[in-house]
Every structure is written in structure tokens, then in C-alpha cells.
Amino acid sequence: MVILSGKEVSAQVKSEVQASCREFVSRTGRTPCLAVVLVGDDAASATYVASKGRACEEVGFTHQDHMLPDDTSETALLSLIKTLNEDDHIDGILVQLPLPKHISEKNIIQTIRNDKDVDGLHPTNMGNLLAGEASFVACTPAGIMRILDYYAIDTEGKEVVIIGRSNIVGKPMAALLMQKGRDATVTLCHSKTKNIALHTKRADILIAALGKAQVITEDMIKPGAVVIDVGINRVEDSSKKRGYRLVGDVDYPHIAPHCSAITPVPGGVGPMTIAMLMENTLKAAELHH
């Protein structure tokens, strides 16, 4: 059984981005810049924003962090995005999701310029991805593809089952895997799928993105499968200093011995999401130059 280390792969990606950034700055005289917008005081989201800032500094980017109160109006947020759209010094714009309920995520995402949409969620980028055209790809699916490539896991002719149909993971993941050159046979399951185990048991590659702790159990896995666990869930654990521990959507201790390869949580898909955000921001800078 191979542990698919996102830490290892992300370190390589960031090293490559850092080298390319140095070359870009030398060639153009400008530094790539990422603007991150956070509305509200959600602790987990604030942690993600801070880690993205550190990653920018690590690879040589500049960054702007816009921290807005929870009661920020949709009009005010749209105004900020339009300002960032028009700022030639900003290459990428990322609005941290989820947003407060009084703000329409759809309106916000559609207002971000598609050539600055380093999260890959703008309808133009989603459409180009589905059509097999060049686009910014959502960072988590892009990171999963990079893990598969790094560990030489072939997808051609493989049965791939994705659990979760979000715009952030499930849908773009399916679109990537069905492209020519990837050639997987893709089944996308969701909360309304009847008897999910019927599908997961035949998966050569299983990608779990439900957001529910350890719901994929040993009896749902095909022996020798590759398991990609996108979930990051907090469960109470009094033995830990923080009072909780992080687990994925799959029951790792019981499933891992029966897999050919599996991502750990933490240290699997998570680090790749930020690494691919850095790569997308550099691509945006090249595009604008």
C-alpha cells in the first residue's frame, strides 16, 4: 500500500512555481500578486487565508488580504471585487467560501474577471474545462490530478467513482477525468444516489468529497483500489491538546490495509489545493503580461 503524500507533491509544485516566479520577475520586472477576500470571522476560513498568504511569500508572490466583517453587504463586496478586477497589479482574486447567507456566492463568483479567477469557479472557466479548452481549473481537482501523475497512477479505462457533486470538487473532477488523454469511465454519486456501495465497490479509483467524517467504510471498497480522500473533518478527541483531531471522509485505519494507494488526512489532498492556487496565480500573471 502506497501513501499518497500531498505534502511531498505540493513541495515539488511550490518549488517549481518559485523557480518560475524568479524567472518571471527577472523577465518582466513585475511580481505576481494574489488578492484574497474573507468575509466574517470563521476560524477555519481565517486559517486557510493565513496559509495562502504564507504560500505566496514562500514562492515569491505578493498578496493582499481583505478581511471584511460578517455584516458586509453584497453591494460592498461586489464593489471591492470590481476594484480588484480593474487593478493591473492584481493577477488573481480568491473570495474565501462559504460566504455569509445574505451574500449570493453565484453573484460574487460571476463578478470576478474570468482571467483573474484562480479558483476556477467562474462559468467561463467551468465551461472551457468541460469543453476541453484551456482554463483555470478548480484547485482541489487540479491537485488530485497532480497527485495521480506524481505517483504514476494511470486513469485510462479505469472505473472512477466520485462521491460529491459540488462545483469546487465533484463536477470539475469528473470533467478532468473524462477528457481525452485521461480516458476514465466516471460515475458521480451524491446525496440522492441509492446504494452508494454498489458503485464504490467497483471503483478502481474512489474519490470521496462528502464532508462527513469516516462515512466510507471497509465494506464499501474494492480490494486494491486507489482511494483519494478530500474530506477534512473535526472529531472530538479529549486526548488531543486542541480537543479534536482531523479525519477524512473514509475510515482510514480500516480501509488503508486493503488499498493499493491512499491519501492520508491531514497531509494528503489539502496541501495540494494551496499549491495549485499558487500555480494558477502564476499562470494568471503570465496571461496578463
Give the residue numbers annotated as catalytic, written as ranges.
Answer: 52, 96, 119
Instruction: Please state, in angstroms and as integers, the Cα–Cα distance from residue 156 to each residue in 140, 153, 205, following that order.
Output: 21, 9, 11
On whether the CB atoms of residues 72 and 41 are closer than 8 A, the answer is: no
Pull the grid cell for residue 114.
474570468
Q: Contact, 265 vs 231, CB < 8 A?
A: yes
Whole-angstrom distance, CA of residue 110 vs CA of residue 132: 21
Q: If DSSP codes are grouped into helix, strand and coil, which group holds residue 30?
A: coil
Give the H/E segment covering residue 153.
none
Q: Is residue 230 helix, strand or coil?
A: coil
Tell me the Ramachandran region of residue 2: left when phi exceeds 0, alpha when psi lies from -120 to 50, beta otherwise.
Answer: beta
The grid coordinates listed for 180 are: 481525452
Side chain identity at residue 201, one-letter code:
K
**Which amino acid is it at 254?**
H
Q: Are 1 and 264 in contact (CB under 8 A)?
A: no
